[in-house]
């Protein structure tokens, strides 16, 4: 088992699948699935507002319920300056029990772990009394327009909606078993422009400087208390990410000032209600502004129940610690599954994801195979 999961992970790492390129990564995953008897459906999508075509596939073993679906992505973020890596970012090199490479933690190794877990399950227990499926996308790290969202639409149209979903995102911080994700906060982007009148700094009465008003508005937004959190979520928080004027002269009052901010919000809000609350804050400062918003994701929560309990039980059994039911972190493709079935996330540690020298511990990888196998055993009992 150790050799198989290591070999499969290394084969995936050696595909330079920097989003949205695939470089053969999905073919690497499909090969063992085909050998196990999975029906494979290639699902490339483009258009729909996306700026590039995306490779995806759906594979299913069995055609009855209960139906468990694993979701993952094979695309990775760029490596940055490769000279800053101490190991080949696409080499999958192992040194002192640690494998290095882009995608080791996020999340090619988890994909490999699930495939090997299925292989071991079938070898030991035979065909499940139900269905196992694998939904893999190639644009989770980028636009996420022509990936999991559209794959799920296809699954629904073709009778493949699962009863439960497991997403292999790196859910732990430093040690295996610390957390399973049962939800995620929403993300709202705000693009604020405060308008004024351009003029000479020596004649301020002939101009209208928007910058003090912009500063006041941002200060009020920063101090605004949206809520005090909820049962499973921390409080909603707003962070200013840019303040831009574009003024190259020191003696000119600019005509406008711009700022961008991001709000990570809990299940007390949806994007529309949150925008209304932001506008109330801005209206208390000025009426001479323009606000555009973009929702990256709505918040969601899989309420603790049979599915979350099953995963938590397997994690605690194999990892030796009771996992926190967490909603921390950014967004993931689990947000698309929440409209179809209960979904949880469990994978490796995330302390090196997107960093130089991204890596995983081999012991963690083999442990993840064991956890996934136990989840399969419990699910199909």
Residues 27 and 161 in one domain: yes
pTM equals 0.90
Q: At what angle do helices 362-379 and 2-13 cross, to 10 degrees?
A: 110
User: How many structural domains compose the chain?
Assistant: 2
Query: Token digits for 364?
Result: 């963690």
351 is catalytic: no
Residues 325 and 289 in one domain: no
345 is catalytic: no
Residues 55 and 175 in one domain: yes
Residues 244 and 370 in one domain: no
Active-site entry in 75, 120, 345, 358 = 75
What sign results for the dihedral spanned by CA atoms 314, 315, 316, 320? positive
Residues 175 and 26 in one domain: yes
Residues 20 and 83 in one domain: yes
Residues 106 and 163 in one domain: yes
Residues 280 and 213 in one domain: yes
**Residue at which a domain ends, from 264, 297, 330:** 297
Per-residue confidence in pLDDT tens, the chain, 381 aa:
666 999 999 999 999 999 999 999 999 999 999 999 999 999 999 999 899 999 999 999 999 989 999 999 999 999 999 999 999 999 999 999 999 999 999 999 999 999 999 999 999 999 999 999 999 999 999 999 999 999 999 999 999 999 999 999 999 999 999 999 999 999 999 999 999 999 999 999 999 999 999 999 999 999 999 999 999 999 999 999 999 999 999 999 999 999 999 999 999 999 999 999 999 999 999 999 999 999 989 999 999 999 999 999 999 999 999 999 999 888 899 999 999 999 999 999 999 999 999 999 999 999 999 999 999 999 999
Look at residues 326, 254, 264, 275 and name the one whose alpha carbon lies nearest to residue 299: 264
Look at residues 169, 112, 172 and name the one whose alpha carbon lies nearest to residue 366: 112
**Cβ density class 14-44: b for 16+ within 10 Å, e for less:** bbbbbbbebbebbebbbebbeebebebbebe
Residues 18 and 139 in one domain: yes
Q: Say what the pLDDT of residue 354 is.
A: 96
**Residue at which a domain ends, from 274, 297, 320:** 297
Distance CA 32, CA 34 (A): 5
Strands 131-137 and 67-73: parallel
Query: Token digits for 64?
Result: 């009855």
Residues 74 and 33 in one domain: yes
Active-site entry in 106, 139, 140, 179 = 140
Specify the CATH number for the domain of residue 179: 3.40.630.10
Specify the CATH number for the domain of residue 257: 3.30.70.360
Q: Say what the pLDDT of residue 329 is.
A: 85
**Residue at which a domain ends, from 297, 327, 349:** 297
End-to-end distance of the chain based on CA atoms, in angstroms? 23
8 Å CB contact between 176 and 368: yes
Q: Say what the pLDDT of residue 1 is.
A: 61
Residues 222 and 176 in one domain: no
Q: Which domain holds residue 316?
A: 2-184+299-379
Residues 236 and 119 in one domain: no
């Amino acid at each position: 088992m150790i050799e198989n999961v290591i070999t499969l992970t290394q084969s995936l790492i050696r595909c330079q699948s920097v989003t949205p390129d695939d470089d053969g990564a999905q073919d690497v995953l499909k090969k063992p699935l085909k050998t196990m008897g999975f029906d494979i459906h290639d699902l490339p999508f483009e258009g729909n507002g996306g700026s590039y075509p995306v490779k995806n596939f759906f594979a299913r073993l069995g055609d009855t319920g209960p139906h468990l679906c694993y979701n993952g992505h094979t695309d990775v973020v760029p490596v940055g300056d490769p000279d800053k890596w101490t190991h080949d970012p696409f080499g999958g090199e192992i040194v002192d029990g640690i494998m290095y490479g882009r995608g080791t933690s996020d999340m090619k190794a988890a994909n490999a772990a699930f495939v090997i877990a299925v292989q071991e399950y079938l070898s030991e227990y035979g065909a499940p009394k139900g269905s196992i499926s694998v939904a893999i996308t190639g644009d989770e790290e980028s636009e996420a327009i022509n990936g999991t969202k559209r794959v799920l639409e296809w699954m629904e149209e073709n009778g493949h909606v699962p009863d439960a979903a497991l997403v292999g995102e790196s859910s732990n911080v430093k040690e295996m078993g610390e957390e399973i994700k049962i939800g995620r906060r929403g993300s709202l982007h705000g693009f604020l422009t405060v308008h004024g009148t351009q003029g000479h700094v020596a004649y301020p009465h002939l101009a209208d400087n928007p910058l003090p008003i912009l500063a006041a508005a941002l200060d009020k937004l920063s101090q605004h208390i949206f809520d005090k959190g909820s049962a499973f979520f921390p409080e909603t928080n707003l962070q200013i990410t840019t303040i831009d004027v574009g003024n190259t002269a020191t003696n000119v009052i600019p005509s406008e000032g711009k700022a961008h901010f991001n709000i990570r919000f809990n299940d007390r809000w949806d994007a529309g209600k949150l925008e209304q609350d932001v506008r109330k804050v801005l209206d208390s400062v000025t009426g001479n502004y323009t606000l555009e918003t973009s929702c990256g994701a709505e918040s969601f929560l899989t309420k603790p129940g049979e599915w979350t309990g099953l995963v938590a039980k397997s994690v605690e059994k194999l990892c030796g610690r009771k996992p926190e039911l967490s909603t921390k972190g950014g967004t993931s493709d689990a947000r698309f599954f929440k409209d179809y079935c209960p979904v949880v996330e469990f994978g490796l540690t995330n302390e090196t994801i997107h960093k130089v020298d991204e890596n995983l511990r081999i012991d963690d990888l083999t442990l993840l195979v064991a956890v996934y196998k136990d989840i399969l055993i419990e699910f199909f009992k």
